[in-house]
Structure 1
Amino acid sequence: MSENVSDGVTSFADLGLRPELLKALSDLGYEEPTPIQREAIPPLLEGRDLVGQAATGTGKTAAFALPIMQQLSGDGRRTGLSALVLVPTRELAVQVSQAFHRYGRGLGVRVLPIYGGQPIGWQMKALERGVDVVVATPGRALDHIGRGTLRPQEVETVVLDEADEMLDMGFAEDIEEILRATPDERRTVLFSATLPPRIKGLTGRYLRDPVQIQIGREEAPAGEAPLVRQSAYVVARAHKPTALGRLLDVEAPTAAIVFCRTREEVDQLAETLNGRGYRAEALHGGMSQDQRDRVMGRLRSGTAELLIATDVAARGLDIDQLTHVVNYNVPSAPDSYVHRIGRVGRAGREGVAITLAEPREHRMLKTIERATKQRIKVEKLPTVADLRARRFELTRAALQESLLEDDLTHFLAVVEPLAEEFDVMEVALAAVKLAYESSGAAADEEEIPQVAQKTERDERDRRGGTGRRDRRGGGGAPAQGMTRLFVGVGRSAAIRPQDLVGAIAGESGLAGRDIGAIEIADRFSLVEVPESAADEVIKALRRTTIKGRKATVRRERDPAARRPR
């Protein structure tokens, strides 16, 4: 249950924030606090620990950033590190750091984002000069603590942002080690979109009598449609690119994210959609930070309308104009689905969440429905006739807007000579035809076969069991699309599977769920990773340590060699 501490709060001034913060918020155009800000800021100003369950886009960054800056000295002579904010990805580290700069511009707040892939020497120099707030990924924070350049004993507040995502990426031990290194009297703040048992275990061990806040999605009034319209389409794998194109044509999103499982799938789908006439951009962990920044710039400026991305690459991104989220595959876990659809339907705006499910994935939709307690309506794919009717509608609307808003007089030189030779209606029909044909992707005239939905029992009978693979001992050849890496540390160095998952997820673009079978011998380990990411993982692990040890990392030389026992 949440503790209601927001009675009577209608403005940021009611929260008792200092004038510099109120001016910054006013300059940014923020008029009133969001529900999570109204609930979280008062207890944080009192120094309480806090657990907040809130989706991305609800304003939680300001909910913890404003109280941290409220308690900073305003004389510009601050010493020591006031707050450490832990986040799962480099993109979110940059985004949270930028938010601190915007809110704290009147206070001269010194904020430093630190994450893997950025020169560590530059980070060390910045830390030596002194900062008030560090926003870091857990692996890089622990690296600096080990070097003595980040002094956790000075920290007054620790924030765990997107805590469930960090645990999914294998950072649990890193987080606990960091928390143990900070003072017992610190204030600890945890925000998470979901609160699975392991999050509750973490709060029980490291938070003191925390305030519990739960902010759900704003419910639509009775009789009105929900802010996020959720639907699914069952389609065979071979027809998924065509089905996606047709749905995008019918929906006509202002901006959309399409989530894929692998980098290879991202690149292939982006190429396919661009070939159909869309303005699609790929985003995945194999890209440099500069490449990612350019992609996001094109999306935010409207140069691109579709972002094709993996979960890892898209974490922490906040896109105001986003109207649609598409799951190109059914997410493997309900939590992932919650995170994805949480990107639309914000601040009272309507959003659409679409899932393309292969016949064998229908049971996974039911699992997500049970976990989220929300219905995902399974609909029929639009037919060629539906698509044609939608394109006619869009063409008519565009022409109507032009007739009402545009100055068309300079086109008389084209129309008048034609009107002398042809009937005006014929001229209009030819103009509409050209407008229709130039309005979007090429016409799609092939019907997509409707697929019968399989029940859970059908699927179990087909598979003959659960078919899950044990992470600890795959043996034999790697799974399709995977390759096996040799890592020169094993049981004798007290290495466990979670240590390898945490190191890979922390320093590369992969998530924990992307990593395959892990086998650990006395002196080495074997880890399966996607073939497309193998070189990046090797490079990342070679420049970091695993449990304080430098390890030899390479592709497995002899797949036929005897497996560790």
Structure 2
Amino acid sequence: MTITTSGEAAGFADLELRPELLKALSGLGYEEPTPIQREAIPPLLDGYDLLGQAATGTGKTAAFALPVLNRLEKAGAEGAPPCALVLVPTRELAIQVSEAFHRYGREMGAQVLPVYGGAPIGRQLGALKRGVDVVVATPGRALDLINRGALHLEELRTVVLDEADEMLDMGFAEDIEAILAETPEQRQTVLFSATVPPRIDQIARRHLRQPVRIEIKRPEREVGEPPLVRQRAYVVDRAHKPAALGRLLDVEAPAAAIVFCRTRDQVDELTEMLNGRGYRAEALHGGMNQDQRDRVMGRLRAGTAELLIATDVAARGIDVEHLTHVVNYHVPSDPDSFVHRIGRVGRAGREGVALTLAEPREHRMLKAIERATGLKITVEKIPTVADLRARRLELTRAALRESLLNDDLDPYRVVVESLADEFDVMEVALAAVKLAQEAGGATADEEEEIPEVAPRRPREDRPGRGERRGGPTAGMTRLFLGLGRRNGVRPQDLVGAIAGESSLRGRDIGAIEIADRFSLVEVPESAAAEVIDALRRTTIKGKKTIVRRERSDRPERRSR
């Protein structure tokens, strides 16, 4: 059975949820379900498996959390194994989903535990021993706890795979298969994904039994109606990208924006640069602890910060209601990532803007994204100094008009009247505008023109994983790990560990060479220290390992 919808939702009271859940929803101010909630909750309450396709921000967490909580028989039972397991790709999403379960299940006393790499495992082991109702986990940590005999799944009633496409992109396919093999055959299986490529469809065919299929489409626009998310791209050389980003933000003047970067170092550098330019920018990446991340998100949601500079993994699952702009500081490595990013604006009928800075060699990727997504991405020229000057004057004019309409200006009348005895009133106004412009920061006259570049064909792609090579690719460095084939290590194990514990995505990782007793992995030089620190704090195939930079005098070995 397949359901496709973009329609109106009925009330939560019509969905036959338990009184405790309805009370919690009312207390949270939820008035009616979103389309994905309206369509998914009834079949899940009836015990059906479900495959749901819905974009970020459609409310799918509640769509599976409410049925899971509704089916709890003895919430908070001492020493009880979990009755539901939710697998998510990142620790940020694990925390967010866990918090949602807590909010919805507070009246029931539901015990929910997030488990993910980078957090003290002793605390997680203790909580599992005391008993939990729902476990929200990243695949790597879930498998680690299963192998330790701490996470028991024999009484599991529901398994949820949330953001399944993202988990596959991060190399978790085999971990997911291993986890599902430990669950009861008669479980209910729920799979949610923003996109349903063939790999997702194959998982659904193997593990879901006659599932209800739900696809939530965004409402179609009327003919001639402008798109909710306006797409623009700019081709610029790498050396001029920081200046180009600052220029675009000055011209766009976003109320709130997320700038996506590839590495933690880039996040820190851009945050420092933009704060120096007068913006209130905050960094968000995998090198920050949870308290730091919570403070950053609190400042963004409160409006005390206007820019969030983040890596993909750190920003996963973030939902900021007043977001107006998304900026891709690099072209995303695949269309799905592009869709995930721009899905954070243009919500609830509000217009949003997506800007992409493409290096000349990345122009082809823009075209590939256009073909795969059906989105029209207009390539424009970086605004000139004259454009910036005109935009700043426009903003000043708008601010003056707002003040003339709404402010009490009488206290300043004496200044104007005294100057009018000596100067023409127009000259007084011109001087006031000039001072207002200068008070806003650097003037456009202090800016340099950003050279215009033409798109060009990309240079030969770097060697793929497992290819024989001499030194590492330019901009990359090789890491040595003290585990190899004898330990059962596979390329996907290394990709999953790095992507799950650091700010890198699977596609940021270069060549992988696995020998009998060790492995070599290429990562961006700028992220090497972060990856080393992350891998030293986690396990691969259940084992701690030595991690360091490869010694440059190591003789070349045969790749595999």
Shift of 1:403: 2.7
- 2:451 corresponds, among 449, 452, 455, to 449
Q: Secondary structure at the match of 2:2?
A: coil
Aligned to 2:90: 89
**1:476–1:187 distance in 2 versus 1, CA, 3 Å:** same
CA distances 1:395-437 after superposition (whole Å, capped 9, x unpaired)? 1221222233333344446545445554444333332222222
In the alignment, does 2:473 pair up with 1:471? no
Shift of 1:488: 1.8
In the alignment, does 2:109 pair up with 1:108? yes
Aligned to 1:525: 519
Gaps of 5+ in 2: none
Counterpart AA for 1:256: A
Q: Is the contact made by 1:477 and 1:559 (CA closer than 8 Å) also made in structure 2?
A: no
Aligned to 1:322: 323
Which stretch shifts more, 363-372 or 433-442?
433-442
Counterpart AA for 1:452: A
Q: Is the contact made by 1:171 and 1:506 (CA closer than 8 Å) also made in structure 2?
A: no
Q: Secondary structure at the match of 1:105?
A: helix
Q: Is the contact made by 1:219 and 1:226 (CA closer than 8 Å) also made in structure 2?
A: no
Number of residue pairs aligned between Structure 1 and Structure 2: 557
In the alignment, does 2:230 pair up with 1:229? yes
Alignment partners' CA distance in 2, 1:400 and 1:204: 61
Q: Secondary structure at the match of 1:135?
A: strand
**1:108–1:420 distance in 2 versus 1, CA, 3 Å:** farther
Alignment partners' CA distance in 1, 2:402 and 2:39: 44
Q: Is the contact made by 1:278 and 1:441 (CA closer than 8 Å) also made in structure 2?
A: no
**Residues 285-300 of structure 1: pairs in structure 2 closer than 5 A:** 285-300=286-301
Which stretch shifts more, 358-367 or 17-26?
17-26
Q: Is the contact made by 1:110 and 1:133 (CA closer than 8 Å) also made in structure 2?
A: yes
Aligned to 1:22: 22
RMSD: 2.3
Q: Is the contact made by 2:6 and 2:217 (CA closer than 8 Å) also made in structure 1?
A: no
In the alignment, does 2:128 pair up with 1:127? yes
Alignment partners' CA distance in 1, 2:174 and 2:496: 8
- 2:510 corresponds, among 508, 516, 519, to 516
Alignment partners' CA distance in 2, 1:313 and 1:419: 56
Aligned to 2:38: 38
Counterpart AA for 1:389: A
Alignment partners' CA distance in 1, 2:369 and 2:481: 36
CA distances 1:33-82 after superposition (whole Å, capped 9, x unpaired)? 21111221111111111111111111111111111112123776584312
Alignment partners' CA distance in 1, 2:117 and 2:443: 42
Aligned to 1:48: 48
Q: Is the contact made by 1:544 and 1:550 (CA closer than 8 Å) also made in structure 2?
A: yes
**1:450–1:141 distance in 2 versus 1, CA, 3 Å:** same
**1:148–1:363 distance in 2 versus 1, CA, 3 Å:** same
Shift of 1:371: 0.4
Identity %: 74
Aligned to 1:13: 13
Q: Is the contact made by 2:502 and 2:530 (CA closer than 8 Å) also made in structure 1?
A: yes
**Residues 405-444 of structure 1: pairs in structure 2 closer than 5 A:** 405-412=406-413, 414-415=415-416, 417-439=418-440, 442-443=443-444
Q: Secondary structure at the match of 2:106?
A: coil
Gaps of 5+ in 1: none
Alignment partners' CA distance in 2, 1:518 and 1:452: 34
Shift of 1:471: 0.6
Q: Is the contact made by 2:76 and 2:111 (CA closer than 8 Å) also made in structure 1?
A: no
**Residues 49-448 of structure 1: pairs in structure 2 closer than 5 A:** 49-73=49-73, 77=77, 79-412=80-413, 414-415=415-416, 417-439=418-440, 442-443=443-444, 445-448=447-450
Alignment partners' CA distance in 1, 2:138 and 2:33: 28
Shift of 1:5: 8.8
Alignment partners' CA distance in 1, 2:244 and 2:178: 47
Alignment partners' CA distance in 2, 1:445 and 1:80: 62
CA distances 1:473-517 after superposition (whole Å, capped 9, x unpaired)? 352111223222222222222321112212222333332122211
Which stretch shifts more, 419-428 or 365-374?
419-428
Q: Is the contact made by 2:267 and 2:283 (CA closer than 8 Å) also made in structure 1?
A: yes
Which stretch shifts more, 382-391 or 168-177?
382-391
Shift of 1:334: 0.9
**1:441–1:39 distance in 2 versus 1, CA, 3 Å:** farther
In the alignment, does 2:482 pair up with 1:488? yes
Alignment partners' CA distance in 2, 1:6 and 1:238: 44
Q: Is the contact made by 1:154 and 1:183 (CA closer than 8 Å) also made in structure 2?
A: yes
CA distances 1:123-165 after superposition (whole Å, capped 9, x unpaired)? 1222222221111111111122122222111221111111111
Alignment partners' CA distance in 1, 2:279 and 2:553: 42
Alignment partners' CA distance in 1, 2:276 and 2:487: 51
Q: Is the contact made by 2:262 and 2:504 (CA closer than 8 Å) also made in structure 1?
A: no
**1:221–1:109 distance in 2 versus 1, CA, 3 Å:** farther
Alignment partners' CA distance in 2, 1:187 and 1:236: 51
Shift of 1:344: 0.9
**1:153–1:440 distance in 2 versus 1, CA, 3 Å:** farther
Q: Secondary structure at the match of 2:154?
A: helix
Counterpart AA for 1:450: E
Q: Is the contact made by 1:247 and 1:382 (CA closer than 8 Å) also made in structure 2?
A: yes
Alignment partners' CA distance in 1, 2:7 and 2:219: 18
Alignment partners' CA distance in 2, 1:539 and 1:268: 20
Counterpart AA for 1:103: Y
Shift of 1:266: 2.2
